[in-house]
Amino acid sequence: MTMRDIRNLILSAFAFGLLALLPLYVSGYILSIATTMAMFTVLATSWALFSGPTHYISLATAAFFGLGTFVTGLGFQTLPMWLLPIIAAGLGAVLAALVGLVTLRLSGVYFVIFTLGLAELVRQVVTWVQNRTGQRGMYVLTSITERDIYWQLLGMAALVFLVGWLIARSRLGFALRIIGNDETVAKHSGIDTAAAKILLFMVSGAAAAVVGAMMAPRYIYIEPSTAFASILSFQVVIMALLGGTGRLWGPLAGVVPFTLLWEFISRNAPNQTLLLLGIAFLLIVYVLPGGFVGLYDRLRHRYGQGGQ
Amino acid sequence: MARVVLEVRDITKRFGGLVAVRDMVFDVHQTEVMGIIGPNGSGKSTMINMISGAFAPSAGEIRLNGQEIAGKSAHRIARMGVARTFQLVRLLPELSVVENVVAGAAFGHRKRWGAEAERHARQLLDRVGMGQQVNMPVSSLTYINTKRVELARALACEPEVLLLDEWLAGLNPTELQTGIALIRSLRDEGRTVILVEHVMDAIRSLCDRCVVMSSGAKIAEGTPAEVLEDPEVIRAYLGADEDA
Amino acid sequence: MFFILITGLLLGGTYALIAMGLNLQYGVARIMNLANGEMLVAGGFAAFWVYTAGQVSPIAALLVVAPVAFVVNWAIYRIMLRPLVKRAKSRGALEVDSILATFGLSFALVGIMTWFFGGGYFNYSYLTGRVDIFASSYAQNRVVAFTIASLLAAALWIWLSYTRAGLRMRAVAVSPDSARLVGIDVPAVSALAFGLGGAVTASGGALISMFFTLDASVGVLFTMKALIIVIMGGVGDIRGTIVAAMILGIAETFVARVIDPGLTLAAAYVLFLGVLLFRPQGLFGRTPT
């Protein structure tokens, strides 16, 4: 570890400490936006861990998230609360492994298409099972408050950043960068490319499932159509790409402005949220390839401070 | 003679109805530089691609130090000790020069990681004459230097067998002399190399032995001097194309 | 059982037309168009609108829907997608860019359509009589939609197989680089194929609206189905597309009738999974090795 790493670690710990104090000063609407931001920070950062280096666009976030909410919905009365996110993580990883085994050996298009319908598929199956067993939606009535959810998500965000930081300096992270550059070279250098991709997709899927498990008490009432709403997947993709996947902090730079913008639009023109999503996608492709991170790097380069 | 490192037995490769390689048989001995030559489209690259695991043979066996590798996936073959360069140079564009070489060291036959891998990579870059440019982006390299980096990457896992797929192609006459000298120095270190090559000067001065392929089959085997005088080889070259 | 088979085939006919549109766009123009389903919905909206406003038959509406969709899609290719093709450093980079751009387009179109037509469902009653085939009766509008879809698909197939323009298109589908070498204007042919694909899909939408309730956001479901059909049938393979569409139509009808109407996407996914696991090159595709 270099001095710079230690400095960054201390700064990050300090920032997280400050953010953890937030619920002591604010509540209500502002806290709920902060919670939403924390949620998207975990989702977008863990999404970028996999999709950043490999360039595989995953639209499966909603499927993992919904799985997590159902774990809490089904288990909160019988199992200890601390166990639920762990179970969700396990199931998320299993689902990711299955999807990965089927699609990640093939080209990126198959992966996108498969994940595009995954949330809807799981929703249909869950609805069918519920219909057959005569069950409807579930009430998740707990003593967990918005504050608790915020702290849980913040802790999860810290964990995801730490994991991302560790992966980036591990052989797995290096392998993923090589795969993203040239998969043929990766294979001939001795990298089991399918295994590396599946492993990281599992990390990403597990994180999204944990977020779902933590968020469930906030919804109070859970039903398949809200738990597996596929729009979540797209929001996450946009936030991560808007921020940029080239750095660990990139997605965060997309989460903060986009959450605020989304909040503003959905309050004032609720029918126009989809138009906003569309325009954001087009903006990323045509105006901001590489996201804010890319812009930042270009500016730094132009003004001659490019340290690397 | 030294022990056999790589045995190729009755290897055949069919693409649909086309037979690209037919019943190839040859051995590669330790510390030997073995050339595979032949006119364009004779199946040389297909042969190399089967040894490195880019695709599986339709029939036959390939053994590395006695272990079967035919049909195994490329990454497993790489870990067992086969490293290669590519006909069209393939570097990792977003990685620096030294990272490109570390990529070869970190996952292959002899694994190295961290500071040790970086030290090793720098040594190899020095070895191929690139000691000054370790931290440059690969986009700024000259053509021969991209080839040097690729060679260093292949060497980084300390392979049992090194496959060079037309490594000298496209170099200008001065660079060609540098390139030949570089490969000769590898040979003097006692490395085992399979060379697919069109450049006849290189074959004469580098190869201990040659296999000549034409239309997917072996038509001659022996020292460069022997095979280049073989009437069938001459006919294959003059009949097929003038590339030699 | 026989009833399911015929109903499935009737549905599959329209699916085939839609998937042929997507296949033209992906196979020739090399753009994975994820806004394909929105073109379909737009075609359906147009048919709905002329029928309810002017009592014009949806079939006559095709005469307007197809050319307009052609021009719109042609323009989308020239203005939005061509720059991406030009700047792409590799096939993979183009894939990511075109996926994101057409997703953007897809959402923007849904947003615009919701704006104009609201978020509700829309349908209309047209040819609601019954037709008897082999002792079972089927909705007239489904039979008519199937017939027209088959005619359009056949016309497209003949055009691709027997005209010079069709030959050029197939050449670009096989190899853009070689096509350029023999003097084919690849960008022009790609734009043409993209426009044509859009026109075909929008026509399919107009036909589907005769018997299917649509809403502004249902497009993605059709995109998904069309994608699965194209992959199952093989990219650029018209025969495969038709067979795959029929298989999907029958499978969906079977699941909807026998198990649960809410599981149609699951049915499509089972087929998709089978293809990914056993025949990723498509039903009639040659194994690459």
- C16 CA: distance to closest CA in chain A (Å): 18
Closest Cα in chain C to B71: C289
Q: How far is C287 from chain B (nearest CA, A)?
A: 8
Q: Which position has the higher pLDDT, B180 or C3?
A: B180
- C289 contacts B56? CB cut-off 8 A: yes
Round to whole Å and give the CA distance between C144 and C139: 9
pLDDT tens for B123-179 read 999 988 888 888 888 888 999 999 999 999 999 999 999 999 999 988 888 889 888
CA end-to-end span of chain A: 18
Q: Nearest-CA distance from B157 to chain A in Å?
A: 8
Report residue A135 as tokens.
């069950």
Interface residues on C facing B, Cβ-Cβ cutoff 8 A: 286, 289
Residues of A in contact with B86 (CB under 8 A): 184-185
Determine whether the interchain pair B15/C286 forms a contact, defined as Cβ–Cβ distance below 8 Å: no
Length of chain B: 244
Q: Mind telling me how many Å the CA of C285 is from chain B's nearest CA?
A: 12
Closest to B92 (Cβ–Cβ): which among A181, A190, A193?
A181
* pLDDT given for residue B244 in this prediction: 43
Give every strand in the sheet of B217-222, ordered side by side.
B82-84, B161-165, B193-196, B33-37, B209-214, B217-222
Q: Which of A171, A185, A188 sits opposite B106 (nearest CB)?
A: A171
Beta partners for residue C170, in sequence order: none
Residues B190, B135 share a domain: no
Q: Do C286 and B56 touch (CB under 8 A)?
A: no
Contact between C56 and C126 (Cβ < 8 Å): no
User: What count of CB pairs under 8 Å joins B to C?
Assistant: 4
Decide if A16 contacts A158 (C-beta within 8 A).
Answer: yes
In a domain, B87, yes or no: no
Judged by a CB distance cut-off of 8 A, whether residue A117 touches chain B is no
Per-residue model confidence (pLDDT) at position C289: 35
Partners of residue C108 in chain A, C-beta under 8 Å: 274-275, 278-279, 282
Model confidence pLDDT, tens digit, residues C45-94 = 898 888 888 888 888 888 999 999 999 999 999 999 999 998 887 777 88
- Chain B partners of C286 at a C-beta cutoff of 8 Å? 16
Among residues B159, B182, B198, which one ends one of the domains? Answer: B159
Q: List CB contacts (< 8 A) between A108 and chain C.
A: 92, 95-96
**Residue with tokens 């693409």, as numbered in its chain:** B15
Alpha helices in C55-175 (DSSP H): 58-76, 82-87, 91-117, 140-162, 164-174
pLDDT at position B239 over 80: no
C100: nearest CB among A116, A271, A284: A284
The alpha carbon of residue C168 is apart from the nearest alpha carbon of chain A, in Å, by 26
A 10 A CB-CB count for B240 gives: 16
- Determine the distance in angstroms separating the CA of A287 from the nearest CA of chain C, rounded to an integer: 12
CATH number of the domain at C176, please: 1.10.3470
Q: Chain C: nearest CA to B15, how far in angstroms?
A: 6
- Neighboring chain B residues of A188 at a CB cutoff of 8 Å: 52-54, 74-75, 78, 83-84
Residues B107 and B226 in one domain: no
CA distances in angstroms from B165 to B51, B90, B158, listed in the order given: 12, 12, 18
Report the pLDDT value the prediction gives residue A304, as an integer from 0 to 100: 65
Answer whether A185 sits within 8 Å of B90, measured CB to CB.
yes
Is B124 inside a domain boundary? Answer: yes
Q: For residue B229, what pLDDT band results from cuts at 50, 70 and 90?
A: confident
Segments in chain C below pLDDT 70: 128, 135, 285-289
Neighbouring subunits of A (3+ Cβ pairs under 8 A): B, C
Residue carrying structure tokens 């042969």: B47
Residues of B in contact with C281 (CB under 8 A): none
Domain housing B60: 4-81+161-240
How many pairs of residues across A and C have Cβ atoms under 8 Å apart?
A: 120
Looking at residue B109, its pLDDT comes to 87
Kindly determine whether residue A124 and residue C262, on different chains, have CB atoms separated by under 8 Å.
Answer: yes
Decide: helix, strand or coil at residue B95: coil
Out of B16, B55, B56, name the one closest to residue C286 (CB).
B16
Mutate to test the interface with A, among B50, B77, B87, B92 (most CBs of A within 10 A): B92
Which chains have 3+ CB pairs within 8 A of C? A, B
The CA distance from C248 to B122, in Å, is: 57
Q: Domain for residue C33, yes or no? A: yes
Separation in Å, CA of A57 to nearest CA in chain B: 19
Determine the pLDDT at residue A307. 45
**What residues pair up with A12 in beta bridges, in sequence order?**
none
Of C95, C111, C276, the CB nearest to A106: C276
Q: Please report whether residue C209 resides in a domain.
A: yes
CA separation for the pair B182, B162 (Å, rounded): 14
- pLDDT tens-digit series, residues B22-71: 999 999 999 999 999 988 888 999 999 999 999 899 999 999 999 999 98
Out of A106, A274, A289, name the one closest to residue C107 (CB). Answer: A274
pLDDT of B1: 63
Based on the structure, what is the number of domains in chain C?
1
- Neighbour-count burial for A199-222, b at 16+ CB within 10 Å, e otherwise: bbbbbbbbbbbbbbbbbbbbbeeb
Measured from the Cβ of residue A118, the count of other Cβ atoms closer than 10 Å reads: 25
Closest-CA residue of chain C to B20: C289
What pLDDT is attached to residue A306?
46
Q: Which residues of B touch A181 (CB under 8 A)?
A: 92-95
Residue B89 resides in a domain: no
C13 in a structural domain? yes
Tell me, what's the pLDDT at A220? 84
Which chain B residues touch A175 with a CB distance below 8 Å? 106-107
With respect to residue C129, please indicate whether it lies within any of the assigned structural domains.
yes
- The pTM is what? 0.89
* Facing A275 at nearest CB: one of C95, C108, C277: C108
Residues of B in contact with A185 (CB under 8 A): 86, 90-92, 103
Length of chain C: 289
Does any domain span residue C150?
A: yes
Please say whether the beta carbons of B11 and B70 come within 8 A. yes
What number of residues does chain A have? 308
Burial label for B153, CB within 10 Å (0-12, 13-18, 19+), is buried
Residues from chain A that touch B78, judged by Cβ atoms under 8 A, are 187-190
Listed in order, strand segments (DSSP E) in A29-163 are 138-139
CB of A182 within 8 Å of any CB in chain B?
A: yes
Q: Could C224 and A117 be called an inter-chain contact, meaning their C-beta atoms sit closer than 8 Å?
A: yes
Contact A112 C92 (CB under 8 A): no
Nearest 5°: the CA angle A204, A208, A212 is 165
The partner residue sitting opposite A190, judged by closest CB among B86, B91, B107, is: B107
B139 shares its domain with B27: no
CA distance A147 to chain C (A): 34
- Two tokens at B145? 């230097």
Cα C99–chain centre separation: 17
In angstroms, the separation between the Cα of residue A253 and the nearest Cα of chain C is: 19
Question: C178: domain range?
Answer: 2-278
Residue A188 to residue B78, Cβ atoms within 8 A: yes
- B-chain CB neighbours of A187 within 8 Å are 53, 73-75, 78
Considering only CA atoms, which of B25, B241, B197, B54 is closest in space to residue B46?
B54
- How far from A158 is each of A15, A36, A92, A150, A174, CA to CA, in Å? 10, 15, 19, 12, 22
B22 in the same domain as B74:
yes
Last residue of a domain, one of B128, B143, B159: B159
Distance between alpha carbon C224 and the CA centroid of its chain, in Å? 10
* Interface contact B93, partner A, CB < 8 A: yes
Mean pLDDT by 10 residues, chain A (308 residues): 83 89 86 95 96 91 95 91 94 95 84 90 89 82 88 95 93 92 93 94 96 92 88 94 90 94 89 88 90 87 61
Q: Determine whether the interchain pair B109/A189 forms a contact, defined as Cβ–Cβ distance below 8 Å.
A: no
Does the residue B86 lie in any domain?
no
Nearest-Cα distance to chain A for C220, in Å, is: 9
Nearest neighbour of C262 by CB, restricted to A103, A108, A127: A127
Contacts of B93 in chain A (CB under 8 A): 181
Q: In chain B, how many domains are there?
A: 2
Domain check: are B67 and B166 in the same one? Answer: yes
B66-124 pLDDT, tens digit per residue, is 999 998 999 999 999 999 999 889 999 889 999 999 999 999 888 999 899 999 999 99
